[in-house]
Amino acid sequence: MEDKRKGFTSTLFSSPERGTGGKAGYRGNCCPGIIEAFITQYGMKYLSDYAVGGGTTKDVCERLGVKGFWTDLRLGFDLTKDEIPDIPENIFYHPPYWNMNGKIVYSNTEYDWREVKERYGYDPRESDLSQIADWEQFLQKLNQTVMKQYAALERGGRMGILMGDIKKKGRLYSMLFGIAKPGTVEQVVIKQQYHCTSDRTAYRSDSFIPLAHEYLLILRKELPFTLDYQITRTVRLSMQDSLSVTWKDVVAAVLKEEGNISLQELYTCVEGFKKCKGNPFWKEKIRQTLYRYNCFSKEESGCWALCA
Ligand SMILES: C[S@@+](CC[C@H](N)C(=O)[O-])C[C@H]1O[C@@H](n2cnc3c(N)ncnc32)[C@H](O)[C@@H]1O
């Protein structure tokens, strides 16, 4: 029987063939299918894209009779500085992915910045998100553009943000984690990736798991005057300041750091820990811990050590 469902069939989106629309040669372009699914899933009549790149969103919208405003830094619109020109019912945003290697820097590789400067009177390299080499700075600018677009969105409207992660020197730089998520987080669709340049990369480390997906984050705006958002932040917390660490962890960490030490020395090292502050019997706790776990041993010298 024919599947009459429209839009996404599940939270996994897979389209091995790119399909037509936009420019397949524009680096980092996306497949038209995901935009079509986004439109049809929610019955959209209007969808804007202010970083339209090779024009995929525009082509899909025109084919489906969906209106919108479609532009890009290369077409005279700067998301970091300009006012959103319309009142968008919905937005599709496919920002540049953070790229430390400088492989895709749009204003260097995909178009000639001189032409843009001549035509629109600004140097696109100054606002091109793909020019930002520092991860934190990239996130900050990216989030500024996310919030600006969300603020312009009509009540009840949706913003779909297509993004991907970068793996660099054993660390995952995840746009999904780092991006600001204003409004209601309605859905995350995992998009399987095909034919990416990284497929041809020979990875040096055996522990590397090749990245094979992107995400479409779908946000919905419920309230016109509220710009609440979720964001991931890094909290620096030393063991000394934590109340969640166990006595065993504290003793093990000190012995690992200090080597074999006497009980008195151990007390001195641990005294400043927040965990000791509210406990008048913290010395008894340490002695109890040393005898309870066989990962600690007492040497003939009387010093305590961490067993190998
Ligand atoms: C991943 S590409 C979009 C690709 C597009 N979805 C397609 O299928 O061709 C990201 C786009 O963001 C644009 N961009 C970068 N910085 C921008 C800014 N400050 N304002 C507007 N667009 C920007 C780039 O010029 C690039 O075309």
Å from CA of 66 to ligand 1 middle: 20
> Where does CATH 3.40.50 sit in the chain?
12-230
Question: Mean pLDDT across the stretch 45-66?
Answer: 98
Q: In sequence order, which ranges of the chain are alpha helices (DSSP H)?
A: 32-41, 56-64, 106-109, 113-120, 135-152, 175-178, 247-258, 263-270, 274-277, 282-292
pTM, two decimals, is 0.90
The minimum-distance atom of ligand 1 relative to the CA of 53 is 27
What is the fold of 12-230?
Rossmann fold (3.40.50)
What is the rounded average pLDDT for all residues in the chain?
Answer: 93
Q: Whose alpha carbon is nearest atom 26 of ligand 1?
A: 53
The answer on pLDDT for 5 being more than 60 is no
Residue 279 has pLDDT above 60, yes or no: yes
Smallest CA separation from ligand 1 atom 3, residue: 53
- Which residues of the chain are in CATH 1.10.10.10 domains? 239-306
Report how far ligand 1's centroid is from the alpha carbon of 23 (Å): 13
Helix (H, G, I), strand (E, B) or coil at 72: coil
Cα 147 to middle of ligand 1, angstroms: 16
Mean pLDDT over 94-120 rounds to 89
Ligand 1 pocket check: which of 56, 130, 197 to mutate, most ligand atoms within 8 Å of Cβ? 130
Q: Is the pLDDT of residue 201 over 60?
A: no
Evaluate the CA torsion angle 180, 186, 192, 194 in order and state its sign: negative
CATH number of 239-306: 1.10.10.10
- Taking the CA of residue 129 as reference, the ligand 1 atom at the shortest distance is 16
CB of 72 within 6 A of ligand 1: the answer is: yes
Q: pLDDT of 254-276, one tens digit each? A: 999 999 999 999 999 999 999 99
pLDDT for 199? 54
